[in-house]
Every structure is written in C-alpha cells, then in structure tokens.
RNA sequence: GGUGGGGUAGCGAAGUGGCCAACCGCAGCAGACUGUAAAUCUGCCCUCUAUGAGUUCGAUGGUUCGAAUCCAUCCCCCACCA
C-alpha cells in the first residue's frame, strides 16, 4: 500500500480546487490506519451517453484514486434525467423515458470502464432514493439552503444580473446532487471546476444530516477542438471515446499547438516534468511540434484502442494527409449503371447533404474524380467500378456499380 | 392576475409594405498558404430537374397588385409588480 504522502501527491495532481488539503490528509491517514478504502463519488448525466475526452479528465482522476486502493462510487442520475435538466442555456432538455435513460446508462458504463477498474467501482442510480422520496422530505431538504446561497453561484448570479431565466428546477439540482452525497456517504467528490458550487453544497447537506463533510476536488475543464470553449457534445468540438482510431487521431492532430500540452496533461496524465521537457524540446527546435502532436495522437488512440491501433492511425494519417494519397479504406457507394449527374452522385455517396451543397463544393473546386478536378456542375458520367470521388480533404467514396 | 419587452436561417442580430432568400458578426464548409496547427487571404453558407423555379422570418386567417413588415385571433418566451 502506498504511503500517505505518495497517495496525496498522486491524488492531488492536476487539481484546481481542494477543500481541504488537511481534511484529505486526515481522511487518508484514517483510511490507511483502518485499512478502509475511501468512497470517491462522481455523478453522471445519462442524457448524453457519448463520453469524450472532457469526461476523461475526471475519470482519470478517479482511476488514480482506485490505483491508491479507494472505491469509486459512480452515480447515474437517471432520476434527474427523467425530469429533464434545463441547466446552462435556455433550451430545456427533453425529458427522457425510463428505457432511454437505462439504455444510455448502459452505454455510459461500457465507455467509462475503458478507464475505471470495475472491481473497485460501485454504480448507483439516484432513482434508488429519489424515486421513493415524498414531497415533505423534499421540502425539508430545501430548507437547508437559502436563495442567497444559490444566487452566489457564478452562473446563476450572472444570468440573474443579465435578466436571463433561471428555472426553479435548476435551483433544485444542486440539492439533488448534494443529497446523493448523503445517500452514498461520500468521502470525496470529484467534478469539473464548473461543479464547485454543487460539490460544496454537498458538504453543507452532509453536515445537516450528521455526516462528516466530503472533501471536494475540482479538475480543469478541457478545451475542445476549437481551442476556446470547453469540450462538449453540443458544441461539436469533442473527441469521443467511441470515435474510430482514425477520427481520434485526426481530431487530435487538429488541436492547436498551444493546447496540446493540456491534452498531454489532462488526457494522458503525463507528469508536469515530462511535459516541461517536451515543451523545451520543441522550443529549442530539437523536436518538431508536428511530431510531438503525432505522439500525442498515437497515445490517445492507444489509450482506448491499444498501441497497434495508435501506430496504424498515425501511419494512415501520414499517408493520406502528408503524402496526399488515398486512404486505405474508402467507403463504397452502390449506384445503378446509368448516367448520373455529378451533383446527384455526390448526394448519393453521402458527400453532400443536398445537391445545392454539392454544387457549391464543385464550384469551389473541392471535388475530384480519380484525383482530377471536376470543373463543371453539369458533368454527367457513366458509373464505373472503382472510381473514387473526393470531396475536400476528408470526403471519399468509391463507386460500385450495382 | 397586472404592466412592459420579445419570437427573423446553427447562434447572435439588422430589417417595420415593393430595391428581401432577407445587411452584419460568430460558428461552419471549401480554396490558397501549411505541419489537416495557429494566423492570414478568397469564395460559399434554404431547396430543386438551376442564368430559372419553389418554399422561408412563432402559428393560422385577413387587408393589398405586392407582407418578415399592416390587421385579427392563437401559441410560446422573458423581466418587473402582485
């Protein structure tokens, strides 16, 4: 078993907030003395079952807790998912059916166990306790929090000041999350920095229920592919855990140079010293930034698909984009053996959503047939097996007459 | 319940009877340059059987030669007051 100092160093790496270091040390000491693992809580929203690298930041942290011998208590917010969380923007999320929530939860777990150790993970659904909760209990729970407290939360106060709507449901959400902590007797709760308020509220509510308050730790929010906003599904700037190796690699390569260090740290958990060494190598010209990013891409792919897949994705990428050759696996599109206009062909091949879009692509000079630029939108052709249509840098389709 | 302000393309935001498929910004797509990085420049950015046609400005109905713009009804959103 690791010593207290070793555990503390590993556990607190890369964190942003920690409330508090002393409490954590005390708890770890007690855990070691009593040989009793700590219970590390994290909650998940099952409305969006696609895990991406942003989620991995916290999952990595949980894994590090597990490596120190602790137990992860994962809470799937199926109850809250069925209500429909309107948080964030004004758009109210759709209410999910019970079946859908369960289906999402299943998929969620499959993905998260690519990082977490199932043997040291407890999974709970919060409908276990909220499903049976009566309204008087809800009211009593709300008595522990004041509106002023809730308004202290950054995004609430901003929205309130800007006369933007805040739904009462949103006010209730932090309470729901806090009560989860009570029910699972969490020792520590992890979340993104945007969760700080909710996590801290968990402490208050635990105290109100006679429990020792959980230790709260927040992790940085990983910026997405646009380099500005946090990685999220709704912004479409994400790399999904379930993306193909090719996509993971390609998307990683499109991350800006400045940002790639964050990925080394938060996705791969590379120690700060190693990152500093890499940075120095790039700064001195000893290594080309492209090669460092290639290494990042390979390792990210390897994390989810194995070393071999990483190497392969890297090689394929070099072939297609550096040497400008055709990819090895081009999706085939079956077309009847009759004359067809280039625009309709592209739509059929999935290279454009409409003929109007196809027309624009041709006019922009983005479309090639067997690597020869198509100049005329009215071009008609007899389909022939094996002809490759190319649209831009990423769109490929091979014709199959049938 | 009352008062006021709103609903325009993915988002933000102009437009208040014809010059509107609708200014502009962001996002996105493509081209050039590259390291599929960043930055920059250029073009595009509702659909179609496409130098033309069709369907759009919360919904429906109306006025008009002509409506995103005017009228009526309805639906939805927000703030403040209660």
Q: What three-state secondary structure class fits A20?
A: coil
> How far are the Cα atoms of A16, A112, A195 from residue A217, in angstroms, in the given order?
7, 20, 10
In this structure, what token pair is assigned to residue A305?
């698909």
Helix axes A272-283 and A289-305, enclosed angle (nearest 10): 150
Measuring from the CA of residue A366 to each C1', which nucleotide is nearest? B30
Measured distance CA(A382)–CA(A291) in Å, rounded: 43
CB A27 within 8 A of CB A39: no
Rounded CA separation A101/A91 (Å): 19
* Distance between the alpha carbon (CA) of A4 and the C1' atom of B49, Å: 75
Closest-CA residue to A222 (of A173, A255, A246)? A255
* CA atom of A261 to C1′ atom of B55, Å: 49
For A139-165, the DSSP string reads HHHHTT--HHHHHTSHHHHHHHHTT--
Task: Provide the token pair at A271.
Answer: 């120690």
What is the CA A159 to C1' B71 distance in angstroms? 37
Which helix (H) or strand (E) is A73 found in, with range?
A: strand A71-76
pLDDT tens, per residue, chain A with 402 residues: 689 999 999 999 999 999 889 999 999 999 999 999 999 999 887 776 788 999 999 999 999 999 999 999 999 888 876 655 544 443 345 556 777 778 888 888 999 999 999 999 999 999 899 988 998 898 889 888 888 888 888 777 777 776 667 777 778 888 889 999 999 999 999 999 888 889 999 999 999 999 999 999 999 999 888 887 888 877 778 898 988 898 899 999 988 888 999 999 999 999 999 999 999 999 888 899 999 999 999 999 999 999 999 999 999 998 888 877 888 888 888 888 888 899 999 999 989 999 999 999 999 889 999 888 898 888 988 888 889 999 988 889 999 887
C-alpha–C-alpha distance, residues A22 and A15, integer Å: 15
- Altogether, the residues listed in chain A come to a count of 402
Q: What letter does residue A211 receive in the DSSP assignment?
A: P
CA distances from A201 to A224, A381, A390 (A): 28, 66, 54
* Phi, psi angles (nearest 5°) of residue A294: -60, -40
How far, in Å, is the CA of A375 from the C1' of nucleotide B34? Answer: 25
Residues with CB under 7 A from strand B: A 90, 163-167, 226-227, 249-250, 253-257, 289-290, 293, 317, 321-322, 343-344, 347, 353-357, 359-361, 363-366, 391-395
Q: Which bases along strand B come within 7 Å of a protein CB atom?
A: 27-31, 35-38, 43-50, 77-80
Burial of A381 (0-12, 13-18, 19+ CB in 10 A): middle
Q: What is the mean pLDDT of chain A?
A: 88
* pLDDT tens digits along A30-82: 999 999 999 999 988 777 678 899 999 999 999 999 999 999 999 988 887 66
**Of A47, A52, A54, nearest in space to A76 by CA:** A47
Q: What is the pTM of this model?
A: 0.85
CA distances from A356 to A268, A344, A385 (A): 43, 10, 26
Where are any strands of DSSP class E within A81-234?
121-125, 188-192, 215-219
The pLDDT value recorded for residue A163 is 66
Distance A161 CA to B80 C1' (A): 13
Between the CA of A161 and the C1' of B14, what is the distance in angstroms?
Answer: 26
Burial class (CB in 10 A: 0-12, 13-18, 19+), A351: buried
Across-strand partners of A191? A218
Nearest nucleotide (CA of A246 to C1'): B36
3-state secondary structure at position A3: coil
């Amino acid at each position: 078993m690791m010593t207290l100092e070793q555990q503390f160093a590993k556990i607190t790496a890369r964190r942003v907030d920690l409330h508090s270091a002393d409490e954590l040390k005390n708890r770890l000491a007690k855990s070691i003395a009593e040989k009793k693992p700590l219970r590390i809580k994290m909650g998940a929203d099952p409305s969006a079952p696609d895990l991406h690298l942003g989620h991995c930041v916290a999952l990595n942290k949980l894994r590090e807790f597990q490596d120190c011998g602790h137990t992860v208590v994962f809470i799937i917010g199926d109850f809250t998912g069925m209500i429909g969380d309107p948080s964030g923007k004004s758009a109210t999320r759709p209410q999910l059916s019970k079946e859908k929530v369960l289906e999402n939860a299943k998929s969620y777990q499959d993905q998260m166990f690519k990082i977490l150790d199932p043997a040291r993970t407890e999974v709970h659904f919060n409908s276990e306790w909220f499903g049976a909760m009566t309204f008087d209990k809800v009211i009593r729970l709300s008595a522990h929090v004041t509106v002023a407290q809730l308004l202290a939360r950054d995004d609430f106060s901003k929205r309130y000041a800007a006369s933007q709507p805040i739904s009462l449901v949103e006010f209730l959400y932090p309470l729901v999350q806090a009560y989860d902590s009570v029910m699972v007797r969490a020792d520590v709760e992890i979340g993104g920095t945007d969760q700080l308020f909710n996590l801290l509220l968990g402490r208050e509510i635990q105290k109100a229920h006679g429990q020792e308050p959980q230790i709260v730790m927040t992790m940085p929010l990983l910026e997405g592919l646009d380099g500005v906003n946090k990685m999220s599904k709704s912004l479409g700037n994400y790399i999904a855990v379930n993306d193909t190796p090719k996509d993971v690699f390609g998307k990683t390569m499109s991350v800006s140079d400045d940002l790639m260090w964050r990925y080394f740290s938060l996705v791969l958990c590379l120690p700060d010293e190693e990152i500093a060494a890499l940075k120095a190598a790039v700064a001195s010209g000893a290594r080309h930034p492209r090669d460092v990013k290639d290494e990042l891409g390979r390792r990210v792919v390897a994390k989810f698909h194995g070393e071999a897949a990483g190497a392969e994705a890297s090689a394929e990428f070099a072939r297609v984009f550096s040497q400008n050759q055709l990819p090895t696996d081009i999706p085939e599109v079956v077309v009847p053996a009759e004359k067809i206009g280039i625009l309709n062909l592209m739509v059929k091949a999935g290279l454009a959503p409409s003929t109007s879009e196809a027309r624009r692509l041709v006019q922009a000079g983005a479309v090639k047939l067997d690597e020869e630029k198509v100049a005329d939108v009215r071009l008609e052709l007899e389909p022939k097996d094996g002809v490759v249509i190319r649209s831009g840098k990423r769109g490929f389709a091979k014709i199959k007459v049938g």
